[in-house]
Structure 1
Amino acid sequence: MNLQNLLIAPPQSFRVDISIVVPLFNESESLPELVAQIYQAVQKSSFAEFFGKTPSFEILFINDGSTDGSEVVIKKLLETHLEIKLISFRKNYGKSAGLDVGFKTASGRYVITMDADLQDNPYEIEALIRKLAEGYDLVSGWKKKRYDPLSKTLPSKLFNFVTGLVSGVHIHDFNCGLKAYRNEVVSSLDIYGEMHRYIPVLAKWNGFRISELAVEHRARKYGRTKFGLSRFIYGFLDLLTVVFISKYMKRPMHFFGSLGILSFISGLSINAYLTFEKIVNDMSVSNRPILFLGMLLMILGVLFFTTGLLGEMITKSFSRSEPYLIKETVNLDLPNT
């Protein structure tokens, strides 16, 4: 079997230097101005000096079921801007779905993600890629000075703090849509739900080097925000999913078995104490609530342990070769059979 069927290796060739992925939902007013700024940012002379030429690029608009004519605006822009590409969903699936499709489509050596509402500054693209050139695989923008109301900034600070505490990845702004990646990073990601908030976490756990860079955040010029407080609730639930899948997907017994042992030993200790009280002090234990707590903990311990065993059996039955991420191969001839 060809080793490439078992291992995920970085792509060897790219059609363009930079892919700019822009998921959007109802942002028709900002799109012409955004496209003009992206062209100016990518084609400026200092950026051309960095690449040794004017960098080739593509703009991937992922239209997430917009109902305000955004698709029509993009198709009009397509007539005069050959670098623009459009993917339109039949309905609104969310930002994670848009990024996932954009990542799978991007053909650039470097991949930039940004929002379509003009709050992300396209002129930051050069600084982000220069930061990647220092040896990083992902650079996350940090909106150090924000122009959002307190109803957004305070929950965001709490979210960033908890995410850093749980994941062990300490950056200031997980929610910033402006990020730069090497293509091998986005090729390794599978984004769904609200997972786009945890891309730095997933990349870090995959062994990639991450950093952050303070970027300009601009006040919203058109329309209104598409996100409410519910995104943080769903986001925290997805954080638990990320932690569980990343740490215990291949070894569910480590999670459920640990809970089972802890619960069973706690219940056994309680019942042992009650037994001692009955034998030594001849105390009645049948009507004591703590007896039922001990029994409940022992039953839960057995259930957790059994769940862990079932999880191990399912994992072994449907297991596939581990998709190891290969940085490079040297002097290695791969068999084709």
Structure 2
Amino acid sequence: MPNAIAARPEVSVVVPCYNEVETLRTLYVRLQVTLDGTERTWEIVLVDDGSEDGSYSRMREIAMSDPRVRPIPLRGNFGQTPALQAGFDHAKGETVIAMDGDLQHAPEDIPRFLAKIDEGFDVVSGWRERRPEPWFSRRFPSKCANLAMRYLSGVPLRDFGTTYKAYRRDVLKELHLYGEFHRFIPVLAREKGAAIAEIPIRCGPRVAGNSNYGIGRTITVFFDLIRLFFLTRYLSRPLQFFGTLGFTLVGAGIAIETWLVCLKYVAGLGLLEHRAPLFLLGVLLLVVGTQFLTLGLLGEMVVRIYHSSRAGAVYSLRRVPAGATKTVGPVESATPSLQMSPP
């Protein structure tokens, strides 16, 4: 029987699981061997995202033999991002590593993540250099999504989609995830001044069960990307976005109406007799532009309310694990730089 888990382990490994009963035992054994080899105190946080194949029972069996394993059962299938948030909220380690439970991520890569964290990076992201997956349904959409993410976010990662990443605990404290935002944690962390590195990782074939991802997931990712683009740039200043658009439309409307008035008095052309469509377009631009300005002002009021309140969790637990801490506090320190490590 292993020694009881430390009150504050050095490393937490968070694994969101959905119907992974066939891989959990093997995953635990490989994680145990790898983490013991790091000579650091550690814990494994297994989050059951409403599995229907007995995954939670397998987690409890493993936890009974090793107190360093902590099962976190969610009330239903909330999705990968809420499952990760649940794991982050209950992880106690100073370094938190997130990975999938289907054995496509090699636990043996963990020491390389820890080495990068030890170099001073706040976030270390994995890069699936070689992927044994179908080109059309998985790799091609992934390449398109990663290209768009690099362009819109300004973070030069080659692989945003992989869950396999390492974080300093203080970086995660200030993040609140929803939707499919687990892919964009490096972008959100960069907004907090985090130093980011990327390392190549091994990506093996799925050994059991069925993948929950497909080409349809790309559409959701692109919607989340648009949301992220707006939130990271204009969340605290919506009037800048809507106000600029509103002033542009109002200015165009004023220009059109001024030109039509000039035509009426200089050339004697009636507004409604000769230029009715253009006149109506100018009025429409004035009305819509004013609405955008009003929307920007309302957005400023919403932002004020948002920053004065605290968002709730995006998941619901069947039970709260003993000794768990759900409070998420402010970031204590961050390095204001972005660096990429060579592959």
Length-normalised TM-score, structure 1:
0.86
Judged with a 3 Å threshold, the aligned counterparts in structure 2 of structure 1 residues 324 and 182 are, in CA distance, closer, same or farther, namely closer
Residue 191 in 1 paired to residue 177 in 2? yes
Contact map agreement 2:170 2:332 (CA 8 A) in 1 = no
Letter in 1 for 2:153: S
- Per the TM alignment, residue 67 of structure 1 is displaced from its structure 2 partner at its CA by 0.3
Inter-partner Cα distance in structure 1 for 2:305 and 2:212? 42
Length-normalised TM-score, structure 2:
0.84
Letter in 1 for 2:16: P
- Per the TM alignment, residue 247 of structure 1 is displaced from its structure 2 partner at its CA by 2.5
- Per the TM alignment, residue 303 of structure 1 is displaced from its structure 2 partner at its CA by 0.4
Among residues 269, 287, 293, which one is paired with 2:281 in the alignment?
Answer: 293
Among residues 8, 15, 22, which one is paired with 1:22 in the alignment?
Answer: 15
Residue 327 in 1 paired to residue 333 in 2? yes
Q: What corresponds to 2:339 in structure 1? A: none
Mapping of residues 64-213 of structure 1, within 5 Å: 64-150=49-135, 151-213=137-199
Among residues 228, 232, 236, which one is paired with 2:214 in the alignment?
Answer: 228
Judged with a 3 Å threshold, the aligned counterparts in structure 2 of structure 1 residues 219 and 319 are, in CA distance, closer, same or farther, namely closer
Mapping of residues 305-324 of structure 1, within 5 Å: 305-316=293-304, 319-320=307-308
- Per the TM alignment, residue 187 of structure 1 is displaced from its structure 2 partner at its CA by 1.3
Judged with a 3 Å threshold, the aligned counterparts in structure 2 of structure 1 residues 321 and 92 are, in CA distance, closer, same or farther, namely closer
Inter-partner Cα distance in structure 2 for 1:321 and 1:313? 13
Give a deviation string over 1:51-104, Cα, whole Å, max 9, x none.
xxx211111000000001111111122222221100111210001111111111
Inter-partner Cα distance in structure 1 for 2:104 and 2:218? 20
Mapping of residues 247-262 of structure 1, within 5 Å: 247-262=233-248
How many residue pairs align between the two structures?
A: 308
Give a deviation string over 1:214-238, Cα, whole Å, max 9, x none.
1111111111111233322222222
Identity of aligned residues (%): 36
For the aligned residue pairs, the C-alpha RMSD in angstroms reads 2.1
Structure 1 unaligned runs (5+)?
A: 1-12, 48-53, 329-337
- Per the TM alignment, residue 252 of structure 1 is displaced from its structure 2 partner at its CA by 1.9
Letter in 1 for 2:278: I
- Per the TM alignment, residue 291 of structure 1 is displaced from its structure 2 partner at its CA by 2.4
Per the alignment, in what secondary structure is the counterpart of residue 16 of structure 1? coil
Q: What corresponds to 2:35 in structure 1? A: 42
Q: What corresponds to 1:302 in structure 2? A: 290
